[in-house]
């Protein structure tokens, strides 16, 4: 396994399944006082809090475009995809529009594949690039018009000149679309080097190219962009809504950000820097849901074998921390793991309320109407006195924030959780929508390793 990782890679083992210490994640952090240092806040509105009552009302009113700004190799595509995953996970319909995809269609026909295509003196190529950018914006407008539930479009482009940013506004503002520019700045040579190393092997631009040649070409591409780069200017562009993040949240500037969804975007970006289930429990054997059962003999066997299996998946001398729920079966699953362990209440299984401890057959017999409603809409159905998957997603948001803030490549987080919990976490990383989430198959006694990359997530079973 290659131990050298860029800042935007992390390994998390999601263990679906000791008593060393208790901890609870902080409640929603005020992003302006805790998650990062904010140097300038010109105008800021909205609130950080519960989504109840706001989710549906804002869906039909807000049309937001997050337009990225910055040089290549700074983590824009990674951040764009992560932001889209987060918004979709919360229930806001979001989609990434990557200008590179539009450009590649045009370039493919002409064979303009090298860094020369990005030379500002190459007028023919410049026209093609501007046309690709405009086509992406037109598709964004069509996407909003196609469904009133579509809420946030992510415009993944460089937008490195003031003129280009004016063009974005001139196309979108007349369509009653709010635009937030998100500039990703990085001047740390080591981070940039690691990002480029990832891009040279994962970017569609360099498929089939020798990695060293790809890296050289990409560096020359960056040099072309640097000639014309105009960072967001707080004085000259004070009227724009923007978020400017430097060196992975080291410095964040927030300017004219107003509204609930927009504030949640700030919150996520200020925290941004996957695992087997628990072993089989006695309730698993009996087909019952919920409860706080002990492991079955088969689950105990899995717990004993887990340390040796897990040790083969991580580099030597890697630091490991185990996160479990507060329920017996996850604590027991972790008991033989020779690493520090922490319990989190928010990792507990979905609360099945009055149906706790029932089999699905018993629920169908005693609560036929509830059984039918759950079958019709599994994500939004809430057990009487319990939770829905939507409730669980909101409960798990602090865990997601902690994982996104975690950026030590020499430290692995292992989450030993429950089926519904792992479904939610896995769906976040894999960008599954709410219709898919409740049906994601998470088998017992399985180790799933998820490694987020710029363009996708690597998954190993």
Widest CA span in the chain? 74
**For position 107, which CATH number holds?**
3.40.50.300
Domain boundary among the residues 225, 248, 270 is at 270
* 139 shares its domain with 225: yes
* 43 shares its domain with 130: yes
Tell me if 275 is assigned to some domain. no
What is the pLDDT, as a whole number, of residue 25?
38
Classify residue 140 by burial, with Cβ atoms within 10 Å: 0-12, 13-18, 19+: buried
* 300 shares its domain with 189: no
* 99 shares its domain with 212: yes
CB-CB contact of 432 with 31 (8 Å): no
* 217 shares its domain with 187: yes
In whole angstroms, what is the distance from residue 373 CA to residue 250 CA?
Answer: 47
**For position 365, which CATH number holds?**
3.40.50.1240
* 262 shares its domain with 293: no
* 328 shares its domain with 262: no
What is the pLDDT, as a whole number, of residue 29?
40
**pLDDT of the chain along its 461 residues, tens only?**
444 333 333 344 454 433 233 333 333 343 333 433 333 333 333 333 334 434 444 443 579 999 999 999 998 998 999 899 999 988 899 999 999 999 888 776 444 557 888 998 999 888 999 999 999 999 999 999 999 999 999 999 999 999 999 999 999 999 999 999 999 998 888 878 878 887 776 777 787 788 888 888 899 999 999 999 999 998 999 999 999 998 876 788 999 998 889 988 998 888 776 333 333 333 333 333 344 455 666 767 777 888 787 787 777 788 888 888 888 888 888 888 888 988 989 999 888 888 887 888 888 888 888 888 888 999 999 988 899 999 999 999 988 888 887 767 778 888 888 889 989 988 888 888 888 999 988 776 667 776 665 555 666 65
In whole angstroms, what is the distance from residue 402 CA to residue 321 CA?
Answer: 13
Tell me if 15 is assigned to some domain. no
Q: Which of 156, 205, 348, 404 is catalytic?
A: 156
Q: Which of 205, 349, 387, 397 is catalytic?
A: 349
In whole angstroms, what is the distance from residue 25 CA to residue 402 CA?
Answer: 8
Tell me if 8 is assigned to some domain. no
Tell me if 309 is assigned to some domain. yes
Active-site annotation holds for 113: no
In whole angstroms, what is the distance from residue 296 CA to residue 298 CA?
Answer: 5
Q: Which domain holds residue 175?
A: 31-270
Tell me if 18 is assigned to some domain. no
CB-CB contact of 409 with 353 (8 Å): no
* 321 shares its domain with 190: no
Tell me if 11 is assigned to some domain. no
Number of domains making up the chain: 2
Domain boundary among the residues 240, 270, 300 is at 270
Active-site annotation holds for 407: no
What is the pLDDT, as a whole number, of residue 146?
96
* 327 shares its domain with 374: yes
What is the pLDDT, as a whole number, of residue 317?
80
Tell me if 212 is assigned to some domain. yes
What is the pLDDT, as a whole number, of residue 405?
79
Nearest to residue 40, comparing CAs of 48, 32, 29, 28?
32
**Residue 27 half-sphere exposure toward CB, CA atoms < 13 A:** 3
Tell me if 264 is assigned to some domain. yes
Q: Which of 278, 418, 434, 445 is catalytic?
A: 278
Q: Tell me, yes or no, if the pTM score tops 0.85.
A: no
* 216 shares its domain with 328: no
Domain boundary among the residues 270, 297, 325 is at 270
* 297 shares its domain with 259: no
CB-CB contact of 216 with 148 (8 Å): no
* 234 shares its domain with 363: no
Active-site annotation holds for 278: yes
In whole angstroms, what is the distance from residue 398 CA to residue 26 CA?
Answer: 7
């Amino acid at each position: 396994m290659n131990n050298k990782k860029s800042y935007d890679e992390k390994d998390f083992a999601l263990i679906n399944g000791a008593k060393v210490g208790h901890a609870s994640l902080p409640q929603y952090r005020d992003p302006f006082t805790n998650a990062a240092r904010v140097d300038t806040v010109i105008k800021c509105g909205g609130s950080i809090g519960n989504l109840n009552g706001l989710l549906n009302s804002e869906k039909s009113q807000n049309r937001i475009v997050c337009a990225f700004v910055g040089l290549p190799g700074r983590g824009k595509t990674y951040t764009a995809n992560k932001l889209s995953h987060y918004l979709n996970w919360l229930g806001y319909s979001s989609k990434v529009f990557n200008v590179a995809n539009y450009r590649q269609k045009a370039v493919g026909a002409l064979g303009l594949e090298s860094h020369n295509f990005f030379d500002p003196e190459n007028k023919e190529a410049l026209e093609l690039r501007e046309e690709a950018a405009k086509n992406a914006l037109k598709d964004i407008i069509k996407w909003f018009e196609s469904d009133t539930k579509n809420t946030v479009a992510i415009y993944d482009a460089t937008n490195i000149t003031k003129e280009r940013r004016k063009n974005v506004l001139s196309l979108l503002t007349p369509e009653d679309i709010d635009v937030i520019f998100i500039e990703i700045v990085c001047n740390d040579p080591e981070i940039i080097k690691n990002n480029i190393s990832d891009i040279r092997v994962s970017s569609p631009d360099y498929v089939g190219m020798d990695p060293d040649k790809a890296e050289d070409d990409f560096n020359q591409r960056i040099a072309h962009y640097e000639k014309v780069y105009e960072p967001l200017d707080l004085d000259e562009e004070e009227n724009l809504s923007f978020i400017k993040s430097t060196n992975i949240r080291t410095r964040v500037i927030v300017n004219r950000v107003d509204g609930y969804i927009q504030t949640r975007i700030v919150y996520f970006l200020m925290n941004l820097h996957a695992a087997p289930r628990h072993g089989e429990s006695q309730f698993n054997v009996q087909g019952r849901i919920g409860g706080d059962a002990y492991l079955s003999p088969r689950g105990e066997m899995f717990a004993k074998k887990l340390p040796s299996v897990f040790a083969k998946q991580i580099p030597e001398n890697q630091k490991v921390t185990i996160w479990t729920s507060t329920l017996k079966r996850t604590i027991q699953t972790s008991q033989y793991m020779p690493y520090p362990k922490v319990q989190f209440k928010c990792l507990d299984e979905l609360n099945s309320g009055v149906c706790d401890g029932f089999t699905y057959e018993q629920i169908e017999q005693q609560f036929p109407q509830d059984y039918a409603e759950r079958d019709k809409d599994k994500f939004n159905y809430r057990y009487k006195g319990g939770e829905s998957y939507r409730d669980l997603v909101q409960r798990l948001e602090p865990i997601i924030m902690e994982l996104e803030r975690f950026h030590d490549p020499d430290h692995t987080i292992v989450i030993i959780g429950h089926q519904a919990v792992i479904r939610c976490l896995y769906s976040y990383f894999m960008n599954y929508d709410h219709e898919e989430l409740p049906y994601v198959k998470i088998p017992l006694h399985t180790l799933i390793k998820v490694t987020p990359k710029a363009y996708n997530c690597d998954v190993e079973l």
